[in-house]
């Protein structure tokens, strides 16, 4: 009885430590949301006669799609940089130039410099995207991953909404400059985050890895968990100290398969239309002929995504990654198909239907299609190929962003907004099929357990992975203590 209060305090200590770390690391994804949402200022920039340059429709396409172009350049090198510098340290080093790019982009009188600043900020956003979820997966305990690994997508949604509101309320220059404000202080906060213990073990810095785990868990939880031997054994069994080592590991089917599945999920997610909806929002509603103000509709989209992403963080561990991703991809397909159909048939008095359809799509996206692939990026990739696997996945993701961002305006011109939405519906159906056929449940499993998922894969996967749930329950029973997360 007398021991209960101190143990409870230690439990809260471990939880609070991981909450703070997760919030700081995830907050760096505000840069990604701001980069994605910044094109909302382009209609005002295009109409601004006081600038020394003229923005053409072709410039709009390149500025929107440049985030994908920058990602193709930066993501393949992100894995190598993480291994050389360390994921947490690299995250810190990226934030100062990210702020500077926003300021240059806001106040330059030259269009080429706007392009270069946009490319620079987008490149850093892509590298941050590649780092954040794998780093969180290596810093957090398995019981907290589902809740906290949704935080990066929540921060993206906040950044997106902030960009939309600024575009509506401020001049394009001020809206661009304000994007630098939250990024620079994060550089100082990330200095307090410990380095990944997995990376430190790979570099042979065992004492520092143990100190990192101590900072993350607290003294009592650290002594109970004794995680360092498990991390050492996992890495010793499958060395991955260099990119060359990881590329060799990719030749093995059990490591190649999860990378291929995750690449397919990310590519189909983007072909499902999310980037077109969130980056061309104002133009999309203009083309759809809605009577409501297009900027008002844009802010509704941002609010819907933020609310849905928050709800997803609560549901993810309870419902499971696989069923939530499967169901939301189906809902997304139905929503955009419904909106596309009504735009094509042009029924009188139904102009509100496309807006409702887009909002349902955004809600479904925020609940599952948006955050879950990023959670999988952190926990689904096997430890021996996590860095290079994350780089490969996000590079394909960036390539698809570029294609969608560049092609979507022409697609609207050739087949109309309604036809474009029907194409997005098709790819969301394909995404649901891939999830059903190939994606196992990852919730509640340690990174070491997930490493073995593709060693012997069953022929068919049920919607609810009973084996995974059983493993999770057994693990929680084995690890049960007054200071366990379930206590």
Q: In this predicted model, what pLDDT tens digit does every residue of 181-201 receive, in sequence order?
A: 999 889 899 999 999 998 898
Contacts of residue 8, defined as CB under 8 A and 6 or more positions apart, other chains included, come to: 482, 483, 487
* Residue 320 phi, psi (nearest 5): 105, 150
**456 by DSSP, 3-state: which?**
coil
Computed over every residue of the chain, the mean pLDDT equals: 80
Asked whether residue 112 carries a pLDDT value surpassing 80, the answer given is yes
CA distances from residue 154 to 31, 422, 423 in whole angstroms, order as listed: 12, 27, 27
Smallest CA-to-CA distance from 258 within 395, 369, 380 is with: 380
| pLDDT tens track for 308-331 | 888 887 787 788 888 999 999 999
Tell me how crowded residue 153 is: count the other CB atoms within 10 A of its CB: 29
Percent of the chain with pLDDT over 70: 80
Q: How many CB atoms lie within 10 A of CB 226?
A: 9
145-175: pLDDT as tens digits: 656 767 888 898 899 889 988 988 899 999 9
441: left (phi over 0), alpha (psi -120 to 50) or beta: beta
- 3-class DSSP assignment, residue 330: helix
Residue 107 CA, chain-centre distance (Å), reads: 29
- Least confident interval from 101-110, 341-350, 371-380, 471-480: 471-480
- Look at the block and give the residue holding tokens 């997995």: 198
CB 157 within 8 A of CB 460: no
Parse the chain into domains and list their residue ranges. Answer: 4-478
HSE value, Cβ hemisphere, 13 Å, CA-based, for 40: 35
Higher pLDDT, 75 or 331: 331
Residue 111, token pair as written in the block: 């269009």
Could you report the per-residue pLDDT of 242-274, keeping only the tens digit for each? Answer: 667 777 777 777 778 888 999 999 999 999 988
**Dihedral sign of CA atoms 67, 72, 76, 81 in order:** negative
Tell me the pLDDT tens digit for each residue of 427-460: 999 999 999 988 887 766 666 666 666 665 443 4
Q: Please, what is the angle between helix 371-379 and helix 111-139, to 10°?
A: 60
pLDDT score at 436: 92
Is residue 470 pLDDT above 60, yes or no? no
pLDDT of residue 484: 35
Q: What is the architecture, at CATH level 2, of domain 4-478?
A: Up-down Bundle (1.20)
């Amino acid at each position: 009885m007398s021991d209960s209060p101190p143990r409870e305090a230690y439990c809260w200590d471990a939880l609070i430590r991981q909450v703070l770390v997760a919030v700081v690391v995830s907050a760096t994804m505000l840069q990604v949301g701001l980069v994605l949402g910044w094109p909302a200022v382009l209609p005002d920039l295009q109409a601004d006669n006081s600038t020394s340059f003229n923005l053409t429709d072709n410039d709009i396409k390149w500025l929107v799609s440049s985030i994908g172009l920058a990602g193709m350049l930066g993501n393949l090198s992100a894995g190598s940089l993480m291994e050389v510098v360390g994921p947490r340290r690299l995250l810190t080093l990226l934030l100062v130039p990210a702020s500077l790019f926003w300021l240059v982009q806001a106040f330059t009188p030259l269009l080429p410099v706007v392009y270069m600043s946009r490319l620079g900020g987008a490149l850093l956003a892509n590298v941050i995207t590649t780092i954040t979820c794998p780093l969180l997966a290596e810093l957090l305990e398995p019981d907290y991953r589902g809740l906290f690994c949704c935080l990066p997508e929540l921060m993206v949604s906040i950044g997106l909404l902030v960009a939309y509101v600024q575009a509506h309320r401020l001049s394009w220059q001020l809206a661009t400059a304000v994007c630098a404000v939250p990024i620079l202080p994060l550089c100082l906060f990330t200095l307090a985050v410990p380095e990944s213990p997995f990376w430190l073990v790979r570099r042979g810095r065992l004492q520092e890895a143990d100190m990192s785990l101590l900072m993350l868990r607290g003294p009592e939880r650290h002594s109970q968990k004794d995680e360092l031997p498990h991390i050492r054994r996992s890495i010793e069994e499958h060395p991955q100290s260099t990119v060359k080592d990881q590329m060799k590991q990719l030749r093995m089917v059990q490591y190649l398969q999860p990378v291929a599945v995750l690449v397919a999920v990310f590519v189909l997610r983007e072909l499902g239309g999310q980037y077109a909806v969130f980056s061309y929002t104002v133009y999309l509603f203009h083309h759809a002929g809605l009577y409501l103000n297009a900027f008002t509709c844009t802010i509704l989209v941002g609010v819907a995504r933020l609310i849905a992403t928050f709800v997803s963080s609560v549901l993810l561990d309870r419902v499971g990654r696989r069923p939530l991703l499967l169901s939301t991809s189906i809902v997304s397909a139905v929503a955009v198909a419904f909106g596309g159909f009504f735009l094509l048939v042009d029924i009188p008095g139904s102009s509100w239907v496309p807006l409702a359809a887009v909002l349902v799509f955004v809600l479904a996206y925020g609940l599952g299609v948006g955050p879950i692939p990023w959670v999988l990026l952190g926990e689904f990739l096997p430890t021996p190929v996590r860095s290079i696997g994350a780089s490969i996945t996000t590079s394909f993701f960036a390539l698809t962003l570029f294609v969608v961002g560049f092609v979507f305006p022409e697609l609207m011109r050739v087949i109309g907004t309604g036809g474009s939405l029907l194409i997005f519906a098709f790819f969301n159906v394909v995404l649901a099929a891939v999830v059903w056929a190939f994606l196992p449940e990852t919730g509640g499993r340690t990174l070491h357990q997930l490493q073995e998922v593709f060693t012997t894969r069953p022929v068919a996967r049920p919607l609810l992975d009973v084996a995974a749930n059983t493993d999770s329950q057994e693990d929680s029973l084995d690890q049960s203590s007054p200071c366990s997360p379930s206590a």
